[in-house]
Amino acid sequence: MKGDIEMIESIKAAAVCSIGDELAFAFPQVLDVISQCSINEIAVLGVEINKAHGQLYQTEYLSRYDVPVPPAALQTDHWGGFVQANNSLAENFIRQHPTGDEHFYLLAATSWKEFRLIQAMKRR
């Protein structure tokens, strides 16, 4: 299922390829994608760095940051702070792990609408 991140034209245009339903990004363009996520209030909850081996790929790094979800983040007017906290950590992780042409980045990302949907499904 495509997420809200895949619906933003500037983000789709920055992708080097798709891995299943996920868009893959190269360095340093992935930093611009994080900025676009922030502008569009999409939280980057995690980053995965993979190395391509022909048609196969191998995960080399996974981010390990975790921003607790404050109850206020469930309200739209507090979502921006949650987005900024996550996206700042995502950007720092990427800057600490710059890669070459044979690598790509996958972003675990969610909009407020998607986040609320997941929370509602958990309650069922």
| pLDDT-flagged residues of the chain (< 50) | none
CB neighbours of 59 closer than 8 A, spacing ≥ 6?
48, 49, 50
> pTM above 0.95?
no
User: Which CATH number covers residue 48?
Assistant: 3.30.190
The pLDDT value recorded for residue 118 is 83
- Provide the domain count of the chain: 1
The pLDDT value recorded for residue 74 is 66
The pLDDT value recorded for residue 71 is 72
The pLDDT value recorded for residue 54 is 85
The pLDDT value recorded for residue 77 is 77
Residue-by-residue DSSP string for 39-107: HTTEEEEEEEEEEEETTEEEEEEE--------GGGGSHHHHHHHHHHHHHHHHHHHHHS---TTEEEEE
The pLDDT value recorded for residue 21 is 87
The whole domain housing 61 covers 4-123
The pLDDT value recorded for residue 116 is 86
